[in-house]
Amino acid sequence: MPAYPRDLRALAPALAGACRGIFAGGGRGAAGPALSVADQALVSACNFATTIVLAHALGLEAFGLFSTAWIAVLLTVSLQLGLVVCPMISIGPGLPGEARHAYYAIVLVHEAAFLALAGSAVAIGLALAFGDRTLALAAGTACAAHLAQDFCRRYLFARGRPPVVLGIDALNQGVKLAALILLSRSAMLTPARALEVIAASAALSCLCAIPFRGALAWRAGAFGAASRRQWQSGRWLVLTGLMQWLSGYGGLLIAGALLGVTLIGVLRAAQSILGVLNLIRDALENIVPPIAGRALAQRGLDGLLPVIGVTAAIGFAGGLGFTALLALTGKSLLAAAFGPGMAAYAWVVAWYSLLFPVSLVSFAQICAFRALERTGAVFAATAAAAALNLAFVYPAVRWFGIEGLLGVAIAAEVLVCLVLAGLLRRVLKARPSDTLGGLQAA
């Protein structure tokens, strides 16, 4: 069992090796991480601009309706990450040659089935909730297309093609933003039409990604074994995604029910300001899990631990720096982006930003559990946070309003980090054969 270094001199070689692994593992040389960060910067900037266009063109009430429909789509994104994407990007890069090609072919079958189920579920659910079939159909179509586009970009990152990801994301975001601006200027933009634009641009991006899918090899005999391994890792991650959605959006829906649907639009606008912080996590999501999987497969815990340590350090430092910046500039950003009336909610930006340094440390620990294929620990941590959130969010919102909602969200994120830290410490105290045995059995 490798022990943690006792001083900085012992830690330096491990960190140096991890840094070399990070900047050599995401693509050709440093190009992989650099392109990943550039891609996430592009996506975050365009999503922020899209939110501004929608908020101005729709008005707060219609924008709140759009945001409520989009929350349903985000639930399916969380489920896809847990069930399909996260196991894929941790398992796939560590497989050799033909086994890797066969595995990715099987994952594509899983993804196709998930798209059909998720799109149908969102359309039916929103039709029952709002009684608006046009909105429901548009949301279901947008859900399937958005999921497919998100899968394509993460699949291509796992297969070492970050330049292609940058290209298809630029196409998706550019077409979407241009169409929304044109519709808003002609006063033709509605929540349903906005969802249709999202669906069309995402579908176009997916079509352009097909020629770069890489080598695939179908092995019917491998389907059962690969599916079981995928499920063994994904069964906890999909439940984790559900718990994360409940923690992140269950409280938001409760607050909207108590304080009005317009509040959802306000909070959505505030969250869009924080998109730059999501850039850090999303970029690390594309880089770290494949590297962690390879490091564990090649060098065991001696290779995994430095990768996780460097990720936690970078995430915490970057998140804390951006938190300080947004705390100082949130008021002016909200006023410039959404108008002077929104500046009154600048304190929401400052409160929300406190989540990110903690969540990035949690992310590093989650990467370790995903590489070890012990994702039950991740579910345990997020379930504890979801239980805290659901137990306290209603009274907190009722008594303290938005302040109560944000306070509960911050407490839940801190709980996730503490539970993960305790469970990871327990795993690392085990004998190496015990720790890696679960991985080999999976």
pLDDT in tens, 321-357: 877 777 777 677 766 766 666 666 677 777 777 888 8
* Sign of the CA dihedral with 41 first, then 45, 50, and 55 last: positive
Q: Is 154 domain-assigned?
A: yes
Q: What is the pLDDT of residues 179-201, one digit of tens each?
A: 999 999 988 899 999 999 999 99
CB atoms within 10 A of CB 95: 16
Q: What is the pLDDT of residues 415-434, one digit of tens each?
A: 999 999 899 888 877 755 44
Q: Is 2 domain-assigned?
A: no
Rounded to an integer, what distance in angstroms lies between the CA atom of residue 86 and that of residue 97?
A: 20
Q: Is 272 domain-assigned?
A: yes
Cβ contacts of residue 406 below 8 Å, gap of 6+?
A: 348, 351, 352
What is the residue range of 316's domain?
Answer: 8-441
Task: Give the tokens for residue 115.
Answer: 């798209």
Rounded to an integer, what distance in angstroms lies between the CA atom of residue 297 and that of residue 295?
A: 6
Rounded to an integer, what distance in angstroms lies between the CA atom of residue 288 and that of residue 313?
A: 13
Q: Is 437 domain-assigned?
A: yes
Q: Is 75 domain-assigned?
A: yes
Q: Is 3 domain-assigned?
A: no
DSSP per-residue codes, 171-230: HHHHHHHHHHHHHHHTT---HHHHHHHHHHHHHHHHHHHGGG-------GGGHHHHHHHH
How many separate domains does the chain show? 1
Range 3-11 contact pairs with CB under 8 angstroms and sequence separation of 24 or more: 4/305, 11/309
Range 277-280 contact pairs with CB under 8 angstroms and sequence separation of 24 or more: 277/319, 277/322, 277/323, 277/326, 277/353, 277/356, 278/40, 278/44, 279/37, 279/40, 279/41, 279/43, 279/44, 280/315, 280/318, 280/319, 280/322, 280/356, 280/360
Amino acid 292: pLDDT: 85
Rounded to an integer, what distance in angstroms lies between the CA atom of residue 50 and that of residue 197?
A: 11
* Sign of the CA dihedral with 235 first, then 109, 245, and 414 last: positive
Q: What is the pLDDT of residues 52-74, one digit of tens each?
A: 889 888 877 788 788 888 988 98
Closest-CA residue to 110 (of 206, 204, 226): 226
Rounded to an integer, what distance in angstroms lies between the CA atom of residue 265 and that of residue 255?
A: 12
DSSP label at residue 131: -
Q: Is 351 domain-assigned?
A: yes
- Cα angle: 393, vertex 415, 266; to 5 degrees: 40
Q: What is the pLDDT of residues 378-407, one digit of tens each?
A: 888 888 888 888 888 888 888 887 788 888
Rounded to an integer, what distance in angstroms lies between the CA atom of residue 438 and that of residue 44?
A: 37
- Give the Å distances, CA to CA, from 46 to 20, 42, 406: 31, 6, 26
Instruction: Check if the beta carbon of residue 264 is closer than 8 Å to that of residue 252.
Output: yes
Region of poorest pLDDT, from 85-89, 125-129, 242-246, 353-357: 242-246
